[in-house]
Amino acid sequence: MAQHTTATVERPKSIDTVVKRITEISTLPQVALKVIEVAKDPDAGAADLKAVVEGDPALSSRVLRMVNSAAYGVSSTVTSLHQAISYLGFNQVRNLAMTASVSELFKKKESLGPYQRCQLWRHMVSVGLCAKLVASRRRMPNFDDAFLAGLLHDIGLILEDQHTHPQFVAIMHDIHDGVSLIDVEKEYLGFNHCVLGERVAEAWRFPDVVQAAIRHHHASASYKGPGLDIVQCVEVANVICTIKGITSVGLKLVKPQLETFLSMGFQKEDILILAKDLDAELSSNETLFEL
């Protein structure tokens, strides 16, 4: 039961007003949007992507650190940005650009009860890595898309934190084990992080499958569109990370949807193996967690 009343914390007028405010004062850096465009262009080459990336020294540094990290195990240090892009591939560079851009939302530290911004960021990156792991185990060709969808699945939460902060404070005070975060969000906001995240993702021109994963990562069975396999990977990854204690708001509120696991052909032992193997993925991709 809520400890506050909605009378003490006024709801936003509508989700439309919140989305409008967010998109007016906040957007993705132009370099990230340009990287997405180039990565989607079938006629673009590594030189085209290099021309975009080298305009952002921080992103260039991330690309070089990633290609030389334990995740790739190159035999000699890669110092050429062109070589690094050729080695990583367009989608991986796109994912790094998005990671760098979205991480900016988490720079200012914030803690509210069990919730910490830095831990939400760790959860989102971990779900991205786990979704990619699930996709690769299922031999899906688009596992880089699974990472991006997993990385961004909870972007609605950080947007609530930053742009509906009084209501978010009340939500964080009222959540506890056994309650539904979505129900508490509905009480104070009139909408939830999945809906808000999807609306802003659409305005920011995120790929369609990423928008779908943001909206349906708690219930992929309700999604019937293209990219269902990616949405399912994100839902499974979200559950696995939560079970491991890598949670979005500091509590294990996510409930496994058995039908999703069964439809993907996963048994209990498969989930345990994935959860164990995720540790190595997290360890070898530590550069992605940087803020």
Please report, for the chain, how many H helices and E strands are present, in that order.
16, 2
> Given this model, what pLDDT does residue 140 score?
92
- Residue 176 phi/psi, 5-degree rounding, is -160, 165
Domains of the chain: 15-28+108-289 (1.10.3210.10)
Query: For residue 189, what are the CA distances in angstroms to 40, 174, 202?
Result: 35, 13, 20
Residue 2 has pLDDT above 70, yes or no: no
Instruction: Say if residue 285's pLDDT is above 50.
Output: yes
In whole angstroms, what is the distance from residue 201 CA to residue 211 CA?
6
Give the pair of three-digit tokens for residue 197. 């995240």
Buried b (16+ CB within 10 A) or exposed e, 195-211: bbbbbbbbebebbebbb
- Residue 5, pLDDT > 60, answer no
pLDDT band at 1 (very low <50, low <70, confident <90, very high): very low
Two tokens at 199?
Answer: 């609306």
If pLDDT is split at 50, 70 and 90, which confidence band does 145 have?
very high
18-34: average pLDDT: 85
Query: pLDDT tens digits for 208-236?
Result: 999 999 999 999 999 999 999 999 999 99
68 secondary structure, DSSP code:
T
Q: Write the secondary structure of 201-239 as one string of H (helix), E (strand) and C (coil).
A: HHHCCCCHHHHHHHHHCCCHHHCCCCCHHHHHHHHHHHH
Burial of 109 (0-12, 13-18, 19+ CB in 10 A): exposed
User: What is the C-alpha to C-alpha distance for residues 251 and 115, in angstroms, rounded to an integer?
Assistant: 8
Residue 165: CB atoms within 10 Å: 12
Please report the sign of the dihedral spanned by the C-alpha atoms of residue 142, residue 73, residue 39, residue 47: negative
Q: Give the whole-angstrom CA distance, residue 95 versus residue 91.
A: 6
Q: What is the pLDDT of residue 73?
A: 80
pLDDT at 3 over 60: no
Average predicted confidence (pLDDT) for the chain: 90
What mean pLDDT do residues 69-91 have? 88
What percentage of the chain reaches a pLDDT higher than 70? 98
